[in-house]
Amino acid sequence: MTISLLAAPVVRDPKWADRALCSYDEWPDLWHPDGTTSVSAIQQAAEAKRICNLCPVRKDCLDDALETEGARKPDGRYGIRGGFNEDERYRLHRRIVSAAST
C-alpha cells in the first residue's frame, strides 16, 4: 500500500522522476546536505527546498519518499525529498499513519 499526503492509494506516472527539477541539476549534492546544523548545510537545504517548491512533481516525489522510507527513523532517511528533510518526512509519516489509524 502506498502512503500519500491524503492517506489514499497513489497512482503515479512511472516516469515522474524524469520531470523532476533535481534531475536536471548540475549539483546533485544540493539535495544531500552534509549535516543539519552548520550554516552551509542549512543554506544548502533551504536552496534545495526552494527548488522543490517549484517542481511540477513535488507531490509524486514526496509520496515516493514516504512509501519507500516507510517507518524508518530520521537516521535511516537521507536528503531533501519532496521539499522535506529527513526529520520532517519522519514526522509527516507519523502524522499520516496516526490519522489513518483513527
Please spell the DSSP secondary structure of 12-53, one letter per residue: --TTGGGG-GGGG-S-GGGGS-S-SSSHHHHHHHHHHHHHHH
Tell me if 58 is assigned to some domain: yes
- Domain of residue 60 covers 16-23+31-101
Tell me if 4 is assigned to some domain: no
Judging by beta carbons within 10 Å of its beta carbon (0-12, 13-18, 19+), is residue 96 exposed, middle or buried? Answer: middle
Segment 45-72 shows an average pLDDT of 92
Tell me if 90 is assigned to some domain: yes
Query: Coil, strand or helix: which one is 11?
Result: coil
Tell me if 91 is assigned to some domain: yes
pLDDT band at 55 (very low <50, low <70, confident <90, very high): very high
pLDDT band at 90 (very low <50, low <70, confident <90, very high): very high
Q: What is the mean pLDDT of the chain?
A: 84
Tell me if 92 is assigned to some domain: yes
Does 27 score more than 80 pLDDT? no
Q: Phi/psi class of residue 79: alpha, beta or left (left: φ > 0; alpha: ψ in -120 to 50)?
A: left
Domain count, the chain: 1
Tell me if 65 is assigned to some domain: yes
- Go through 12-34 and write b for each residue having 16 or more CB atoms within 10 A of its CB, e for each that does not: beeeeeeebebeeeeeeebbebe
Tell me if 86 is assigned to some domain: yes
pTM exceeding 0.85: no
Does 3 score more than 70 pLDDT? no
* Residue of 68, 54, 65 lying closest to 88 (CA atoms): 65
Tell me if 3 is assigned to some domain: no
